[in-house]
Chain A
Amino acid sequence: MSALQAIAPREASIFACLCDAVVAPQPPLPAVRATDAVRAFDAGLVAAPRLNRLALRAGLLALEVAPLALGFGARLRRLTPARRAAALARLDRCAPVAPLLKALRAMAHLSYYGDLRVLNELGHDPEAIVARAAALRGLEGRW
């Protein structure tokens, strides 16, 4: 993986864990670590406004410890998948953190499902679109 620019390795690891929980990949879908989801999340944060970037990074750190506060007995990354899902469901009902979790979940879904292999697995082929476009541009005076 190329070096991350916006997030620290610990935040990357929490994001991967969140991604795993909200995507719950099973064959034919690849595991999160086999995709470029974390790198894409990092790239999104690089282009985001500073305040959003700070809020999302802080949100990841808060998410990691929130299960302790909710009585789940361990941090997010140390919970079993089932307990992790239960902790996130509880956080969804917790007014102060719910909007942040919603934003992080949307970014996790976008980051994971934008991976080329995942897109192909679902029947979508962006490379074919780009190749056809290049051919058309070669034939006609398109921009």
Chain B
Amino acid sequence: MSAGTRDTGAHTYADGGGTFHPPERRIVAGAGIAGERIVTVDACVIGSGAGGAPVAKELAEGGLRVAILEEGDWHESASFTARPRDMMPRLYRDAGQLATVGTPPIVIPLGRAVGGTTLVNSGTCFRTPAHVLARWRAAFGLDDMTPAALEPYFRRVERELNVSQVPEALPGRNALLVRQGARALGLHGDFLFRNAKGCVGSGVCAFGCPTGAKQHVGITYVPRAWAAGATTYTGVRARHLVGNRRRVREVTARTAGGGTLRVRCEHVVIACGALLTPGLLRRNGLGGASGQLGRNLSIHPASAARAVFDEPIDPWDGVPQSYYVDGLAGEGIILEGITGPPDQAAMVTPGSGAVHRERMLAARRTGSFGVMVSDTARGTVRDVGGRPFIRYDLHGDDAARFKRGFEVLAEIYWAAGAREVVVPLAGVPPLRDGDSGPLRRARVRPSQVQAMAFHPLGTARAGADPRAAVVDGALRVHGTENVHVADGSVVPSALGVNPQITIMALATRLAHHLLGAPPPAGEPAPSRIA
């Protein structure tokens, strides 16, 4: 187990890391703004998720006056019910019904709240892999994106979020069985690093952590931004960037109360996420010169197999995403835990009528684990009537990778004692008694893969060449003087791992650049890096 700042989530809440209670909650609800309100700040940050919150906090602590505009609401942990069915309409954009158009249709859930998607994510933290950074340097001219140059920013993010490894007591039985199976096959795996503190393994990270243990940016970065004087406007949707093509002077937003918020500013940082930032830029005639805006969408498609055991494993007990197997990382495949309460499982359990019922009655004995594929396909997103319209077709090679991932996962589950394994590939029957033959023999086409995606990236990609990228290496929109982007859209290629701390580190770097400050110094060194 690791030591020092990346120790487990068992710290008390008084040790200064992670969760932070500011003297004042500086929230202004847009629902209360019916007329016109004008505010003047140094920096207007649009979006309060993985990208927006860190940049806002760093700028505010650097002495700038900051306004954070967030379309969603502020939610208290005390209002979380631990019931996916009831939390999804409250915390997710479009009640979690946003999906791609293409083969196959793929649901891409997004958070819409203070904290953005980090409020509903699983908390897994991976630094940007070195080989990915090497590609960014070679293909996109992002010369200073080296592991060493980004190290101080990652260290800062990891301290702010109390990134720590899942302790032995919390992974849940499902993950321990996968560990047992992976070890038997000689496949490398480990407990994941997560932004959690005082986690008790209640298993509902994706539906609002009721214990306040998940250190999402809404309870870490945003309160620290408040303490430094920033104000969050909730229930406001930024629509217009007013100025000329080089310099934006004002952001105007529609409020939930039917009014208008006008934010006059020196700097605009757009952090609406990879599916919404392109629409905002395009609507305002910015970022389109390269022809790349809204293109190059990678989504890191994910799917999960279910395995039935003889004894109860209560898959909803423990951290839902606690363990990973990276023995196939060289092939662009990573296996990560994904479990949840019965209602979440019911949605994705195959079958209908009696077949589905019998599977659900075995829910206590049924584990599940995810396969994520670093995609070769690229999609597009454009704004249609104020909503993202996403085109994406799964590539045949990626369908083959899903098959390969499921073959290995089935072997892992057999080695752990599973009786039946069900893979979400249409036409492949349930696998029984250690026989993966039907899966091995199947020819899997993209249309057969039932997938979701949690990591949209790349739609306003960074790159030195203004003819090939939307933002430059400093994340400034090419051709503008004071418009920057700090969210998943700038990530220029698929990462192959979960992206949140990559986005946060890039956002922190942007803030330091805007402040003209050197990289953070004196951050504690982790004893291990995920």
Binding site for B on A (CB under 8 A): 21-26, 29, 40, 43-49, 52, 85, 88-89, 92, 99, 105-106, 109-114, 116, 118-119, 122-124, 126, 129-130, 132-134, 136-137, 140-143
Contact = CB atoms under 8 A, between A and B. Distances in A.
A129 B352 contact: no
21 contacts: A23-B357, A24-B354, A29-B361, A40-B85, A40-B86, A47-B90, A47-B94, A48-B89, A48-B94, A85-B352, A99-B105, A109-B349, A119-B83, A122-B361, A124-B341, A126-B83, A130-B82, A133-B202, A142-B13, A142-B77, A143-B212
B308 interface: no
Given A47-B90, A112-B346, A134-B78, A140 B198 contact: yes
A112 to B, nearest CB: 7
B78 A48 contact: no
A122 B12 CA distance: 34
B78 A137 contact: yes
A34 B387 CA distance: 37
Most A Cβ at <10 Å: residue of B94, B349, B353, B387: B353
A114 B343 contact: yes
A53 to B, nearest CB: 9
A94 B512 CA distance: 56
Contacts of B78: 134, 137
A24 B85 contact: no
B340 to A, nearest CB: 10
A111 B85 contact: yes
Contacts of B316: 124
Contacts of A21: 352-353
Interface residues of B, number: 54
Contacts of A109: 343, 346-347, 349, 356
Given A29-B361, A132-B211, A142-B77, 17 more contacts: A24-B354, A43-B86, A48-B95, A49-B94, A109-B343, A109-B349, A113-B346, A116-B83, A119-B342, A124-B316, A126-B204, A133-B211, A137-B77, A140-B13, A141-B14, A142-B19, A142-B213
A141 B357 contact: no
Interface in B318-355: 341-349, 352-354
Contact of B343 (A119, A134, A137, A140): A119
Nearest to A52: B97
Contacts of A46: 89
B210 A129 contact: yes
B82 A126 contact: yes
Nearest 3 A/B pairs, CB to CB: A114-B85, A47-B89, A142-B212
Interface in B363-393: 363-364, 387
A125 to B, nearest CB: 9
A45 B198 CA distance: 35
Contacts of A132: 200, 202, 211
Most A Cβ at <10 Å: residue of B198, B213, B343: B343
A133 B210 contact: yes
A126 to B, nearest CB: 4
B356 A22 contact: yes
A139 B85 CA distance: 29
Nearest to B358: A24
A108 to B, nearest CB: 9
A11 to B, nearest CB: 17
B147 to A, nearest CB: 33
Most B Cβ at <10 Å: residue of A85, A109, A110: A109
Contacts of B396: none
Nearest to A107: B347
B293 interface: no
B266 interface: no
A22 B346 CA distance: 11
A84 B321 CA distance: 38
A64 to B, nearest CB: 17
A105 B78 CA distance: 31
B312 interface: yes
B84 interface: yes
Given A122-B364, A129-B210, A110 B94 contact: no
Contacts of B151: none
Nearest to A134: B78
Nearest to A88: B352
A109 B219 CA distance: 33
B467 interface: no
B21 interface: yes
Most B Cβ at <10 Å: residue of A23, A89, A118: A23
B352 A137 contact: no
Contacts of B364: 122-123
A137 B19 CA distance: 12
A49 B92 CA distance: 12
A24 B13 CA distance: 47
B360 interface: yes
A143 B77 contact: yes
Contacts of B212: 133, 136-137, 142-143
Interface string B192-225: 0000001010111000001111000001000000
A84 to B, nearest CB: 9
A129 B341 CA distance: 11
A24 B353 contact: yes
B190 interface: no
Contacts of B203: 129
A36 B21 CA distance: 37
B88 interface: yes
B368 to A, nearest CB: 14
B17 to A, nearest CB: 13
B357 A113 contact: no
Given A113-B343, A140-B12, A25 B97 contact: no
Given A119-B343, A123-B314, A142-B13, A133 B84 contact: no
Given A129-B210, A132-B211, A110 B85 contact: yes
A110 to B, nearest CB: 5
Contact of B360 (A89, A99, A122): A122
Contacts of A133: 77, 80, 82, 202, 210-212
Nearest to B317: A124
